Structure 1
Amino acid sequence: MSKLLYSATTSVDGFIAGPGGDMSWLVPYLGPDPAIDDLVGEIGALLVGNRTFRGDDPHKGTPAEGEACGGGWSGPQFVLTHHPPAEPVPGVTFVGDLHAAVAAATTAAGGKYVNVLGADVARQCLEAGLLDEIFVCIAPVLLGDGVRLFDRPGGTPLALERLVATQGPVATDIRLRVVR
């Protein structure tokens, strides 16, 4: 059965995007990373938040612009949104309900991971008890402001179990399991 895995690169101070969703900070940290390369091979489908889907692209101005994982992955993508675009987007399904989106992505993943992209959709999956794992690349930078890796004001602590921690070429990679 497919598992839901939230993956993101975060600054040391816990931001995955700068102010206004700016992703340009990520460019120096896009280098090859064996842990990320291995993870990409384990992904069967993407569950993407609307802001992430429509947001800034760290690959802007390169041939990888607009491509999942910078062009390193292809497959079915499901975008959680209440405002789908007027024109269809090839390879992308827009879904307005979290549980329907998770069910569709899980089926499409065919036993591989559903990679959750976007802090808000990851939070929704976590709160619904659907998130299984978290893969975080910690980049050696302080952003000071922006979109947090997780933002749960008033939330209670949630236990995580470390599965793997490795030092990549430009970031520290940590894979965690959500303890239920």
Structure 2
Amino acid sequence: MAKMLYGATMSLDGFIAGHGGDMSWLKPYFGPDPEMDSLVHRVGALLVGRRTFEGDDPNRGTEHEGAFGGAWDGPTFVLTHHVPADPVPGVTFMDDLESTVAAAKAAAGDKYVSILGASTARACLDAGLLDEVLVSVAPVLLGDGTRLFERPGGDNVPLERISLTHGPLATNIWTRVLPR
């Protein structure tokens, strides 16, 4: 059965996107990282929030545009309040979290469903649907932007560390979400 994984690169002060959703801050931290590079082969489907789907790609216009630096080629499910009238090849738009997660898990088989987008990850966490979190911590302070998890008034979420690895440009912390 597929597991739900939220993976993101985060600044040391907790931001995954800069002010206004700017993702260009990531460029200096692209590079070989065995932990992150092997992940794409363990993912069977993407669950993407609509803002992330339409958002800033630091690789836009290059051969590395798209998820996993352009290496992703598989089913993509976009969670949105407004399903577009015109289809996008290879992309399924859905408007219900539980149905979208179920469809993504079915498509992923025994691999991960990789969640892209802070709001979508938070919704999965709040619904008890998030299994694991993989954060690559980059040595930079952004000062403002989109936080990894923004949960004002939220409760504590216990995590169990699965692994800690050091890539040449960032530190990777892989955790399991424990029952609350």
Task: Please say whether Structure 1 and Structure 2 have the same fold, judged by a TM-score greater than 0.5.
Answer: yes
- Structure 2 segments unaligned to the other structure (5+ residues): none
Q: Secondary structure of 2:163's match? A: strand
1:9-88 pair list within 5 angstroms: 9-65=9-65, 67-88=66-87
Deviation at 1:84, TM superposition (A): 2.7
Give aligned pairs, total: 179
Deviation at 1:110, TM superposition (A): 1.1
Q: TM-score, normalised by structure 2?
A: 0.97
CA offsets per residue over residues 69-97 of structure 1, 9 Å max, x none?
11112100000001233321111100000
| Distance across 2 between alignment mates of 1:164 and 1:94 | 33
Q: Secondary structure of 1:4's match? A: strand
1:82-101 pair list within 5 angstroms: 82-101=81-100
Q: TM-score, normalised by structure 1?
A: 0.97
Q: Could you say which residue in structure 1 is the equivalent of 2:111?
A: 112
- Structure 1 segments unaligned to the other structure (5+ residues): none
Structure 1 residue runs of 4 or more that deviate by more than 2 Å after TM superposition: 84-87
| Distance across 2 between alignment mates of 1:9 and 1:51 | 17
CA offsets per residue over residues 94-152 of structure 1, 9 Å max, x none?
00000010000000001100001111000000010000000000001000000000000
Q: Secondary structure of 1:94's match? A: strand
C-alpha RMSD of matched pairs (Å):
0.9
Q: Secondary structure of 1:37's match? A: helix
Deviation at 1:158, TM superposition (A): 0.8
2:8 matches 1:3 = no
Q: Could you say which residue in structure 1 is the equivalent of 2:139?
A: 140
